[in-house]
Amino acid sequence: MPRSQQTPLRPLTAHERIALVHVARSGAERADRVGRAKALLAVADGVTFLAAARAAGRQSGDGVAKLVARFNATGLAALTSRPGGRPPIRYGPDQAARILREVRRPPDREADGTATWSLSTLQRALRRVPDGLPTVSTSTIRRVLHEAGFSWQRNRTWCETGVVLRRRKSGVVTIVDPAATAKRGGSSGPTARPRRWAFPSGARTRPAPTRLSRSPGPPGSRWATPHTVPTRTSAAGPPSC
């Protein structure tokens, strides 16, 4: 049984009908836009939602009913598909501070299962705690750490640039280099060209006059008389130092 048209299509304006006809007959438009335009024109001509769906190559009239409701609210914008799926989760300064607070915490071997932080162990720790980030990814953690000046060391741990731990009589203290940010950014002045200490060496060659060498033929042959073969040699001139 066809679905009742609880939300009828509003009357089309002249501009809307021309635009719908143009999209429905176009061979360069997307297939989904063409189908929606055909369905709307069919409903505007007085057919049911089910008949309009079949005219557009669909099987159900429920989609046509939703399309009609969208067209009544937004007009020709209903021809364009809306982005599907959930919107991407974006992390602001508060979430970045939470990641940095976690990486600055010494890991617990029993609770965290590691003695040094890695991207995967940081992700697992942030997703486990109640005040953490349950959907954070390793790429987000890496980006936040790099922006904060952390780098991956050879001892398989993340270390903050300009921050070191020193053992004193009173215990372990943290020393921070105030110029670490400027050093990490690199120098802004031009780099001087390296001075060349090598001198040109070698000898300049010049062509020498052609000298003739005798090449005898096979013994006992009529061509046993020597003939000349031009050869060219070169002589080394004085150095060009």
Q: State how far the Cα of 154 lies from the Cα of 239, in Å rounded to an integer.
A: 52
Domain range list for the chain: 14-79, 93-163
Average pLDDT of the chain is 75
| Residue 20: per-residue pLDDT | 92
Better pLDDT: 163 or 189? 163
Helix (H, G, I), strand (E, B) or coil at 212: strand
Q: What are phi and psi of 205, to 5 degrees?
A: -95, 150
Domain 93-163, CATH among 1.20.1070, 3.40.1560, 1.10.10, 1.10.3470: 1.10.10
Burial of 192 (0-12, 13-18, 19+ CB in 10 A): exposed
Distance (Å) of CA 14 to CA 10, 21, 40, 136, 187: 13, 11, 14, 51, 65
| Residue 179: per-residue pLDDT | 66
| Residue 154: per-residue pLDDT | 56
User: pLDDT band at 50, cuts 50/70/90?
Assistant: confident
Residue-wise pLDDT for 108-145, tens only, equals 888 888 888 888 899 999 999 888 888 888 888 988 88
User: pLDDT band at 28, cuts 50/70/90?
Assistant: confident
pLDDT value at 1 more than 50: no
Average pLDDT (175-187) is 60
Amino acid at 34: V
pLDDT value at 193 more than 60: no
Average pLDDT (19-45) is 89
Q: State how far the Cα of 120 lies from the Cα of 114, in Å rounded to an integer.
A: 11
| Residue 101: per-residue pLDDT | 92
Q: State how far the Cα of 174 lies from the Cα of 164, in Å rounded to an integer.
A: 6
Average pLDDT (142-152) is 84
pLDDT value at 7 more than 50: yes
By mean pLDDT, which of 89-103, 161-175, 198-212 is the weakest? 198-212
Pairing of the two strands 163-168 and 234-239: unpaired
| Residue 239: per-residue pLDDT | 47
Q: Which two tokens stand for residue 129?
A: 């705690």
By mean pLDDT, which of 31-45, 97-111, 167-181 is the weakest? 167-181
pLDDT value at 155 more than 80: no
* 78 Cα distance to chain centroid: 32
Percent of the chain with pLDDT over 90: 11
Q: What are phi and psi of 215, to 5 degrees?
A: -130, 100
Burial of 142 (0-12, 13-18, 19+ CB in 10 A): middle
pLDDT value at 88 more than 70: no
